[in-house]
Structure 1
């Protein structure tokens, strides 16, 4: 498959625009309202079970336990199920670098390397090239599921989806008229958020946004160090909290012949080579002193995830890195895009394409696991100026506003890797696409609730194990 950016570069602006308009013959904008799987649809529990087969067995029950907390938590862990559903639908053929898991909680406030607060996508485990609307539909369905959890009416839920789709369409149209470098440099920083809020008559929304920015700035790596480490006679070390945080030395107790020091070295071996020279220089100022396995997220539970504690000058000069296992994207079976020789590299490449400002320590490596298998990982700072949305505290108007921010931010991400002229021409100036998305989102939210119940039934029957922590 030819990369979307290469296709755009080979065509004139008029040809790119015409390509977008012709895509309407492939699938009409109104057709995006449809989702009606037949009785032969796959078993969603089987999809989850197959995915769990490659994960740490003792952690898989925790994954199911977290997914059973609510339909929204289930949705967060069910990207593989939705990928299989989306693959059955007609699509535009206008490809971008997808996030692959674009639900609303994967949009948040982050720190840029220049120490500015920006609003951007944060999770790239499933990133892969594919039709732009797959991300938009996953985001739209998440807004309906969140709205239902808050008790919003169907009309309020639909308004939230329309706000999201409209922001995506209008922002993409803006990008279609911009120079290529201007698209690449575009950011959604706090100043832009303030501009978007300036027209809001609700002062409480503006105050809540400012407080969210203040909380994000307070979520520094030092806060994570205080929470996850302690001073011991040997120096600063990671605080055990099994099974959620288990030091490597404890895991190696049952692995005769495996040396902790060599294991620590192997985690960083090769990773440094994926960094730019000045960042390798910075990393060499630290020494690795401790590593622990950490349970993270909902959908990621069971994948191998390591916390790496490094020290610079002394115990009060820490750096916390997270090395997270990268497995095959849930989208990979459904596209013909180029495959990577390292799944960690796939994640990092996708993140650098989509995000305007990526973590300075972002890189990848390959490590021999405790089961002697070679596994791919990507590495980044564990926590640095991150502010996550809390949809359960939002009223309908605020959720719609947030949905619009997410839609606009997603358009920016897609414009960087795809063809904004073609996508903008496909979406057009009318609201046909916007009006189609609520029907899809409602239908998929219904399907998500039934899948949630199927998982609960599988657990009650003993088909799947569960553990709640």
Structure 2
């Protein structure tokens, strides 16, 4: 994977700043406020249908059903639609390693390998190098959509977006003056977040953070083990909850799935070879005892996702892994960038580049399926101190604070992979970029509502089938 900063990293700071300011000539900051669907815009339902063609057919209706629940849920599943909409817009040309799906629900509390809670990005399925503003625009529009779902006024919606983008811009200016190693080591741990909330004198926010941190610490592999497994005559096995969780044994009842176990065992063996030696040694302490297909998320529904139950010394020594299919990034058709020999490796490499702390069991593999098709997967632990934000439960003040946290977090991710000096120079010290993104977010939220209605119309006309689960 090519480092996005390859061109500017070796230049003196003054030249890097000049490079950033010159980018305003090809994409003035005010131009980012414009969005209007072109006459040749792709049919959003058609884009989703093309994605669905590569997924497990029986699960696709669940994806549509979840996306139909609200415009915000539709947005979470429509990264491909937005990527196609962003591609024709003016580009700054300032490259970073993009998250690729930087909506508000993909920022959360996570556990570091040192067992500290940190606030970071959590989804990298679409990661790829690209213009920094694509991530910022997806995050900004997501906050308007979330704010609308909460019944906020237009003024409150704009205040939330501008808080997010201002935090991104101001933190990027901080990173522009920092040594590279200090940027790399920077983290947003729970204590830092708590100090920010205390400085804002937000008692409710501080209370919510403490509750979220406490809840995150309960979301351990042991709790996942207790929730997802049961005792059987053969020992601990994954408990069925079809169609959301379907153990391998139930799938093997279908003759077409007869070789599935062999396929999945090869998945684990191939994955182990991608781990660092000491972590591969740790994995050898566990044996694979059961597997199940699992439905995850919104946009990911229908991709092949497996829960793997491994046991160590005994039934009280579990390890739960999630192996998730990795397809080509939705950004790839629009970036003209490099292609990857393994999409799971793309996800893992991008995650390690922009996330401050990664799961010790993060790896990838390639499997040839029963249909003869090769598929890539990335693997990580299932649950591990994850605290999920709930924007739909936040009032205007709290949502603005959460937006600030997300904006600052995204700046840190981009500063690690891009050139913070050039980015800060492009953004400047004023609020022109902030105001432009607030305009864009409103326009794109309108478009998202139209696309959500288009999916609903496709369901009413029986073009697609949706299942509410």
TM class, shorter-chain normalised?
Answer: over 0.9
1:443 aligns with 2:443: yes
Partner deviation per Cα, 1:120-168 (whole Å, 9 max, x = no partner): 0000000000000000000000000000000000000000000000000
Residues 43-442 of structure 1 correspond to what in structure 2 (within 5 A)? Answer: 43-255=43-255, 258-259=258-259, 262-442=262-442
Partner Cα separation in structure 2 for residue 259 and residue 452 of structure 1: 39
Partner Cα separation in structure 1 for residue 260 and residue 80 of structure 2: 35
SS of the aligned residue for 2:273 comes to: helix
Partner Cα separation in structure 1 for residue 316 and residue 184 of structure 2: 37
Root mean square deviation of aligned Cα = 1.2
Partner Cα separation in structure 2 for residue 116 and residue 151 of structure 1: 35
Instruction: From the superposition, tell whether residues 157 and 252 of structure 1 become closer, same or farther in structure 2 (CA, over 3 Å).
Output: same
Q: Give the superposition deviation at 1:210.
A: 1.0
Residues 14-29 of structure 1 correspond to what in structure 2 (within 5 A)? Answer: 14-29=14-29
**Runs of 5+ consecutive residues of structure 2 not aligned to the other structure:** none
Partner Cα separation in structure 2 for residue 252 and residue 434 of structure 1: 54
Partner Cα separation in structure 2 for residue 446 and residue 167 of structure 1: 24
Which moved further from structure 2: 204-213 or 290-299?
204-213
Partner Cα separation in structure 1 for residue 335 and residue 154 of structure 2: 33
Which moved further from structure 2: 237-246 or 120-129?
237-246
Q: Give the superposition deviation at 1:367.
A: 1.4
SS of the aligned residue for 1:236 comes to: strand
Partner deviation per Cα, 1:24-69 (whole Å, 9 max, x = no partner): 0011111110001133322111000011100001110110000000
1:466 aligns with 2:439: no
Q: Give the superposition deviation at 1:193.
A: 0.5
- Asked whether the equivalents of residues 264 and 288 of structure 1 are also in contact (C-alpha less than 8 Å), the reply is no
Q: Give the superposition deviation at 1:2.
A: 6.1
- Asked whether the equivalents of residues 327 and 343 of structure 1 are also in contact (C-alpha less than 8 Å), the reply is yes
Q: Give the superposition deviation at 1:260.
A: 5.7
Q: How many residue pairs are counted as aligned between the two chains? A: 469
1:30 aligns with 2:15: no
- Asked whether the equivalents of residues 137 and 441 of structure 1 are also in contact (C-alpha less than 8 Å), the reply is yes
Partner deviation per Cα, 1:397-418 (whole Å, 9 max, x = no partner): 1000000000000000000000
TM-score of the aligned structures, taking structure 2 as reference length: 0.98
Partner deviation per Cα, 1:68-124 (whole Å, 9 max, x = no partner): 000000000000000000001001000000000000000000000000000000000
Q: Give the superposition deviation at 1:226.
A: 1.2
Partner Cα separation in structure 2 for residue 9 and residue 459 of structure 1: 50
Q: Give the superposition deviation at 1:337.
A: 2.0
SS of the aligned residue for 1:49 comes to: helix
**Runs of 5+ consecutive residues of structure 1 not aligned to the other structure:** none
- Asked whether the equivalents of residues 32 and 433 of structure 2 are also in contact (C-alpha less than 8 Å), the reply is yes
TM-score of the aligned structures, taking structure 1 as reference length: 0.98
Partner deviation per Cα, 1:251-307 (whole Å, 9 max, x = no partner): 222236944653342121211111000000000000000011000000000000000
- Asked whether the equivalents of residues 247 and 293 of structure 2 are also in contact (C-alpha less than 8 Å), the reply is yes
Partner Cα separation in structure 1 for residue 5 and residue 366 of structure 2: 29
Instruction: From the superposition, tell whether residues 174 and 315 of structure 1 become closer, same or farther in structure 2 (CA, over 3 Å).
Output: same
Q: Give the superposition deviation at 1:374.
A: 1.4
Q: Give the superposition deviation at 1:13.
A: 1.3
- Asked whether the equivalents of residues 5 and 418 of structure 2 are also in contact (C-alpha less than 8 Å), the reply is yes
- Asked whether the equivalents of residues 76 and 103 of structure 1 are also in contact (C-alpha less than 8 Å), the reply is yes
- Asked whether the equivalents of residues 264 and 290 of structure 1 are also in contact (C-alpha less than 8 Å), the reply is no
Partner Cα separation in structure 1 for residue 64 and residue 223 of structure 2: 29
Partner Cα separation in structure 1 for residue 322 and residue 355 of structure 2: 18
Q: Give the superposition deviation at 1:213.
A: 0.9
Partner Cα separation in structure 1 for residue 256 and residue 126 of structure 2: 35
SS of the aligned residue for 1:269 comes to: helix
Partner Cα separation in structure 2 for residue 2 and residue 27 of structure 1: 24
1:456 aligned partner: 456
- Point out 4+ residue stretches in structure 1 off by more than 3 angstroms: 255-261
- Asked whether the equivalents of residues 5 and 419 of structure 1 are also in contact (C-alpha less than 8 Å), the reply is yes
